Chain A
Amino acid sequence: MSVIRNEPAITPELIADHGLKPDEYERIIKLIGRTPTFTELGIFSAMWNEHCSYKSSKIHLRTLPTKAPWVIQGPGENAGVIDIGDGLAVVFKMESHNHPSYIEPYQGAATGVGGILRDVFTMGARPIACLDALSFGDPSHPRTRSLVAGVVAGIGGYGNSFGVPTVGGEVRFDRRYDGNCLVNAMAVGIAETDKIFYSAASGVGMPIVYLGSKTGRDGIHGASMASAEFGADAEEKRPTVQVGDPFSEKLLLEACLEIMAADCVIAIQDMGAAGLTCSAVEMGAKGDLGVTLDLDQVPCRETGMSAYEMMLSESQERMLMVLKPDKQKEAEAIFRKWGLDFAVVGHTTPTKRFLVRHGGAVMADLPIKELGDEAPVYDRPFRETAAKAAIDPASVKPPLTLADALEKLIASPQLCSRRWVFEQYDHVILGNTIQRPGGDAAVVRVNEGPKALALTADVTPRYCEADPFEGGKQAVAEAWRNLNAVGARPLALTDNLNFGNPERPQIMGQLVGAIRGIGEAARALDFPIVSGNVSLYNETNGTAILPTPTIGGVGVLDDFTRSMTLAFKGEGQAILLVGETEGRLGQSLYLRDVCGREEGAPPPVDLAAERRHGEFVRMLIRDGAITAAHDVSDGGILVALAEMAMPGKIGAVVATPAGIPAHAFWFGEDQARYLVTAPDADAVARLAKAAAVPLIRLGATGGRAIAIEGERPVAIDELREWFEHWLPAYMAGPG
């Protein structure tokens, strides 16, 4: 083989600039037996960075449960696939776009949405919903407001134009995200179970076709950028951020689904991180085939692009497909109709080599399987987070009355209304949104029904930092609870693991602990992980984010007309608490935002109780025994009660049970709990007894205030004002 060496010499500086460690470079030399070309070095850096290779997390991710009878495809493809019956499958995944969103919030967030949508429709599914879990720095940090504005506008700008409803997610503020915001985008699509498309190529000599937008110089080294910490020069990394074009993506969606329906496709892979390199290598490697690419055929946005640039570009809205040769003309006609580029850029070979030609020269000639399989895998040293002591509720002196504390919490950045955010997202398009943002989980009808999906995204990072294992369990349990609370049967989850620098044992300990917790909860709840993404190095100048393993949960309702909401439905109904309350204040919002203390052990998660209580609530909903249901989480029972009262403007008259300090009862964040309302409390109590589920009666709905016996009543109208005030007022501020 003659490799033309008209490129920069490979120096230690160049290797370091590509994010490759000296020993990783040695590995390359050993693998190919010679010095790599510049293009090859770029390819290795793209394939072996943290973002694409999962080299720090792989050995731990392998411990996660990924199987269940209803799982069609677990991790390893573009997205996970589960069977929901009636010949239908749900295709879903969550993915981060943290680093680009901090550098360029609008485009970073927009292309995050675009990327995850492509992952879903690449598999033959039509996207039916998106969710976005966002973490921002302290509201007083000078960048926070503009990041919120840019990220939210970017998510809306892409999803609204593409035409998918954005139905849920979460927004949090914490100073630990000052230097690294998190944008975790989840997309969910529906396909027919027998028409799922995969990325493994098959057959020798099959045409490899490039589809979609042209290739430009944007996003080169995007994946490498997302695999390193930020220093003072974060702003200078702007050219590595891609620019989104939702219009092209909408066309790409329609064209892809059309050629899939016409049975033209053998294999398909979207060009995401590391673009052409990653997609071509994956298709070949998974199919045990070689791939030869002719870069002279790649549609380019600008002239004079080098092989190196084309192989590493992360231009958006592009796909690579292996087509059935006899269907090539038909597929091309469909793409031309949609005004998209279509070019045969290569073919499959029997050699298992990844061969890249450009301008008559061979620019890369590498063993295709080893590019992925031989990527370094690290068993990084880790230090487990030391356990913290539980907080004795009696040791916490309430600084405010219950009523004042409720008002403070409901108006706080963490608990106030997210209306300012979700109103910028089209959440009603497609006409299937049964439960809009603001409930425990969004509910979206599947096609014309009768089935519907419940969707949620959850994590409590302050718990995860205090105890990564319990925090990991809690994130899964809360997602599972939120699905139960709307009456859905939880089926599977996608995880988006956001952490700091894994080369620090303390951070690695958080990652390992959280994965163990997620695994334990997923096993106990039969809630397998079918897809996910790891984002490490969320760290700036040595300060890491809070460990944030976001869990995206999917559940199914057999009858979309029977979904349950959290709003009180009428006066005089019993308010019942499912689950046990010890009044755990450690790491609670009450302790943090009312008492100013960030301390203690987070609430432990009893997974057997979670399962029993969740199944009980789902049964109550199915049997029509209750009229409202709400998961109790951030802020505890009193906040949950306020959230149920505000939508219907119906109050509650309740009393504090004996034997527990009032502030610990109302604001403790014990797990495995739900609030429900019922016209016939005795019937529910009998069912609870039979199911061995703890249940107590707190009081009844009614009036126009939250009235706790012996406390100042808090008017619902005032609560609503507090609830709706903070975010719009904050966003109207300077900057």
Chain B
Amino acid sequence: MKSAVLVFPGINRERDMARALRLLSGREPAMVWHADAALPSGTELVVIPGGFSYGDYLRCGAIAARAPIMDAVRAFAAKGGLVLAVCNGFQIACEAGLLPGVLMRNAQLRFICRDVYLRVERSDTPFTRGYNAGQVIRVPVAHGEGNYIADGETIARLEGEGRVIFRYASPDGMIDPDWNHNGAMNAIAGIINAQGNVLGMMPHPENHVEAAIGRTDGRGLFAGLVDHFNLAA
């Protein structure tokens, strides 16, 4: 799996992401600078990692979404290339028009870093083939603005087309406001675009890939992607 991790000024989880990709794919990802105009040739997976691009001083992700490299990413996605957008990456993907909706401030107006439980809604995507539908995974979140919101029509469409991929849930998989730490609509933690090749999610699977550090629930996402490309090859 040839992956490229985008680096914007202020991004800070690019090393975490690169480590997860290296551990699970056995291959060092390319780190791609925001001012570049093109992705490395042969790129199979683009990852927009977490952080605080441009300090998030404007709307989260708004400036990064307009960086030169994002034109190349939009073209890559339009041709069906896989894009994984995590945390600030999710915010950037929404601002870049790759995904619908927006991430607002957490309902309790505080930054939250803790492990949360996600219910995996579908296993038939390249991003979630390493999981079973209905499986509950435990991964960390670390964000101040992860409260997913979209207009009623968009939400209806996302739900109708089965494009909600991860939901905040209780440890036994129940959707419950007590376990939706940021107040996201329909407990949405991750969504996919209509073509099924761009995934945006707030939690950090890349921080749960090593048993020695804690848990390994995040491995399934990366292992699934590696499988996807191995099968395609």
Contacts and interface: CB of A to CB of B under 8 A. Distances in A.
B121 interface: no
Nearest to B212: A561
A162 B140 contact: no
B213 A423 contact: no
Contacts of B55: 161, 245-248
A424 B207 contact: no
A247 B204 contact: no
A698 B16 CA distance: 43
A429 B142 contact: yes
A371 B10 CA distance: 38
B212 A250 contact: no
B15 A430 contact: yes
Interface string B171-204: 0000000000000000000000000000000001
A663 B14 CA distance: 52
A310 to B, nearest CB: 25
A153 B110 contact: yes
A168 to B, nearest CB: 14
A428 B12 contact: no
B111 A424 contact: yes
Interface stretch (A353-361, A431-439, A608-616, A665-673): A431-439
Given A161-B56, A250-B10, A431 B213 contact: yes
A430 B209 CA distance: 12
Interface in A409-444: 422-434
Contacts of A426: 111, 113, 142
Nearest to A449: B212
A722 interface: no
A424 B206 CA distance: 20
Contact of A431 (B51, B114, B207): B207
> Which of A338, A424, A431, A433 has its CB near the most chain B CB atoms (within 10 A)?
A431
B138 interface: no
Contacts of B16: 429-431
A423 B114 contact: yes
Given A161-B52, A245-B55, A423 B207 contact: no
Interface residues of B, number: 30
Contacts of B40: none
B212 A247 contact: no
A428 B57 CA distance: 23
> Which of A156, A428, A430 has its CB near the most chain B CB atoms (within 10 A)?
A428
A102 interface: no
A424 B212 CA distance: 24
B224 to A, nearest CB: 20
Given A423-B113, A428-B142, A433 B213 contact: yes
Contacts of B140: 428
Contacts of B54: 247
Given A424-B113, A425-B113, A560 B12 contact: no
B12 A163 contact: yes
Given A247-B54, A433-B213, A427 B113 contact: yes
Interface in A337-380: 338-339
A489 interface: no
A99 interface: no
A338 B51 CA distance: 16
B221 to A, nearest CB: 15
Contact of B19 (A156, A247, A431, A433): A431
Interface string A125-155: 0000000000000000000000000000100
Interface of B: 9-10, 12-13, 15-16, 19-20, 51-52, 54-57, 110-114, 140, 142, 144, 204, 206-207, 209-210, 212-214
Given A160-B52, A424-B111, A426-B111, 20 more contacts: A153-B110, A161-B12, A163-B13, A163-B52, A245-B55, A247-B54, A250-B52, A338-B9, A339-B9, A423-B112, A423-B114, A424-B110, A425-B111, A428-B204, A429-B12, A430-B15, A432-B213, A433-B213, A445-B213, A561-B212
Which are the 4 A-B pairs with shortest beta-carbon distances?
A163-B12, A247-B55, A161-B52, A426-B142
26 contacts: A157-B111, A160-B113, A161-B12, A161-B56, A162-B12, A163-B51, A246-B55, A247-B10, A247-B54, A423-B110, A423-B113, A424-B110, A424-B113, A425-B111, A428-B113, A428-B142, A429-B12, A429-B13, A431-B15, A431-B19, A431-B206, A431-B207, A431-B213, A434-B212, A434-B213, A445-B213
